[in-house]
């Protein structure tokens, strides 16, 4: 195979990488989609979504084959969508069912997009609709598992999704950009860190073994119960696809290498879906397996996480604007903490070559 691209030399090359369609991305929360048609732009494709009477979600090209009227401005009749301009009627599989004023129907169809619901999220396959690769769907057993309680959030990013993914691969900003929210002190910079390329993604993790700091994110009642025991907290995760970062931040309490260990699970998912090359949809979920009925803790955490993730969104927005207005050629400086981010850039190049190479 001829490589489409060799490597990215700096952030400008990185955010200029072409969009990747042969992957699953989050299209939204399942509850957003009803029998009423609604449109979203994902990877520069306008897509109309609606549910059939049986609740099945349909995703079609949001563009009537006749004169490009947006089908989201149309009507769903039974399970079909009827164009609001001249009445062309399409089935949920995109085929033309009826054209007003003529007996025959052209042998054309709207493009369809396979969708797959996991827990509260809808995933969409942006590649060839005839061959969605279900092996590439992320494994998220905690979403929808009654043993976990999940907090969710959604926002839009006025910058490249790749800047946001780079932020997720970068642990060193925790103690600086998030110093007022997540309150990692500067000792966070010195924690033992693992960064490696794994077959399933780019893995990065830091482990804090200071029991006071490690248990700081637990609700007070649990913190009290585990006080005085050794504890460690992980902070990290894995970039598994161009649109999915799977964070994992368990707190492990108890003597190492014994059976007397309690694990408090926290799975932190980040889903980035480009809208265009310079804007993105962003969803996150944080799922814990502890304190499931502590509403006050979850209400506090929801606000806390929203504030923290908003800081990332803000930083990405500012960097994107700067890159757009200042075109001075420059040589980027990379530091030790960028290892995971640089590996991720390389993985992006591999995905680009998989899709665009020949
Ligand atoms: S634009 Fe849809 S039927 Fe004419
Ligand atoms: Fe962050």
Closest approach atom of ligand 1 to CA 64: 2
Considering the entire predicted model, what is its pTM?
0.96
Ligand 1 atom closest to 87 (CA):
3
What is the pLDDT, as a whole number, of residue 256?
87
Nearest CA to ligand 1 atom 3: 86
Q: In the chain, where does DSSP find H-type helix? A: 11-15, 161-168, 211-214, 220-226, 295-325, 339-356
The answer, yes or no, to whether any atom of ligand 1 lies below 6 A from the CB of 66, is yes
Burial class (CB in 10 A: 0-12, 13-18, 19+), 345: buried
What integer pLDDT is reported at residue 292 of this predicted model? 97
C-alpha 24/C-alpha 205 separation (Å) is 25
* Rounded-to-integer distance, Cα 44 and Cα 174, Å: 32
Q: How far apart are CA 49 and CA 39, in angstroms?
A: 6
C-alpha span between 31 and 119 (Å, rounded): 11
Residue 335 clears pLDDT 80, i.e. is over it: yes
* CA 140 to centroid of ligand 1, rounded, Å: 40
Strand-pair partners of 202: 197, 239
Q: Token match 């062309």: residue?
A: 88
Residue 27 Cα, ligand 1 centroid: separation in angstroms? 26
Map tokens 């591999």 to a residue: 350
Q: Quick one: average pLDDT of 11-31?
A: 97
Does residue 190 have a pLDDT over 90? no
Which residue lies with its CA nearest to atom 4 of ligand 1? Answer: 86
Q: Give the integer Cα–Cα distance in Å for 284 and 305.
A: 9
**pLDDT value for 187:** 82
Q: Name, in order, each residue with C-beta under 8 angstroms of 251's C-beta and a sequence gap of 6 or more.
A: 214, 215, 217, 218, 231, 232, 233, 263, 264, 266
pLDDT digits (tens, 9 = 90+) for 83-102: 999 999 999 999 999 999 99
Q: Which of 85, 90, 98 to mutate to test the pocket of ligand 1 (most atoms within 8 A of CB)?
A: 85
How sure is the predictor about 284, in pLDDT bands with cuts at 50, 70 and 90? Answer: very high
Dist. CA 272–CA 210, nearest whole Å: 33
Decide if pLDDT at 1 tops 90. Answer: no
The answer, yes or no, to whether residue 12 has pLDDT greater than 80, is: yes
pLDDT > 90 in the chain, percent = 89
* Rounded distance between C-alpha atoms, residue 200 and residue 277, angstroms: 25
74 CA closest ligand 1 atom index: 2
Whole-number Å distance, alpha carbon 63 to ligand 1 midpoint, is 9
Q: Domains, the chain, ranges and CATH?
A: 31-114 (2.102.10.10), 147-356 (3.90.380.10)
Beta strands in the chain (DSSP E): 24-29, 38-42, 45-51, 57-61, 75-77, 80-82, 89-90, 96-98, 115-118, 121-125, 149-157, 193-198, 201-208, 231-241, 244-248, 251-253, 262-264, 266-276, 279-288
What are the phi and psi torsion angles at 83 (to 5°)?
-55, 135
Distance 86 CA to ligand 1 centre (A): 5
pLDDT confidence bin for 358, thresholds 50/70/90:
confident
* Buried-exposed string 256-286: b where 16+ CB fall within 10 A, e elsewhere: eeeeeeeebbbbbbbbbbbbebbbbbbbbbb
């Amino acid at each position: 195979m001829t490589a489409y691209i060799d490597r990215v030399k700096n952030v400008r090359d990185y955010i200029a990488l072409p969009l990747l369609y042969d992957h699953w991305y989050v299209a939204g929360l399942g509850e957003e989609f009803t029998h009423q048609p609604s449109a979203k732009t994902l990877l520069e494709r306008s897509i109309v979504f609606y549910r059939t009477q049986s609740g099945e979600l349909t995703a079609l090209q949001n563009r009537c084959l006749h004169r490009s009227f947006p089908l989201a401005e149309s009507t769903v009749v039974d399970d079909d969508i009827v164009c609001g301009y001249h009445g062309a009627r399409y089935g949920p599989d995109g085929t033309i069912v009826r054209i007003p004023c003529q007996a025959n129907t052209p042998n054309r169809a709207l493009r369809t997009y396979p969708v797959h619901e996991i827990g509260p999220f809808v995933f969409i396959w942006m590649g060839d609709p005839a061959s969605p690769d279900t092996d590439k769907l992320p494994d998220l057993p905690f979403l929808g598992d009654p043993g976990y309680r999940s907090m969710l959030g959604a926002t839009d990013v006025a910058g490249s999704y790749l800047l946001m993914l780079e932020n997720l691969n970068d642990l060193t900003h925790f103690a600086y950009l998030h110093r007022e929210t997540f309150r990692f002190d500067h000792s966070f910079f010195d924690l033992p860190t693992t960064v490696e390329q794994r077959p399933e993604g780019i893995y990065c993790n830091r482990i804090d073994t200071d029991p006071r700091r490690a248990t700081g994110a637990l609700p007070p009642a649990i913190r009290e119960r585990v006080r005085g025991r050794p504890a460690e907290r992980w902070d990290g995760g894995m970039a598994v696809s161009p649109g999915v970062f799977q964070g994992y931040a368990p707190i492990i309490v108890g003597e190492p290498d014994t059976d007397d260990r309690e694990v408090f699970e926290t799975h932190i998912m980040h889903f980035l879906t480009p809208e265009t090359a310079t804007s993105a949809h962003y969803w996150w979920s944080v799922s814990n397996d502890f304190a499931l009925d502590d509403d006050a803790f979850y209400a506090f955490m929801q606000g806390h996480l929203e504030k923290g993730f908003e800081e990332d969104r803000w930083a990405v927005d500012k960097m994107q604007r700067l890159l757009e207005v200042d075109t001075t050629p420059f040589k980027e400086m990379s530091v030790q903490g960028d290892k995971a981010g640089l590996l991720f850039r390389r993985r992006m190049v591999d995905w680009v070559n998989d899709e665009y190479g020949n």
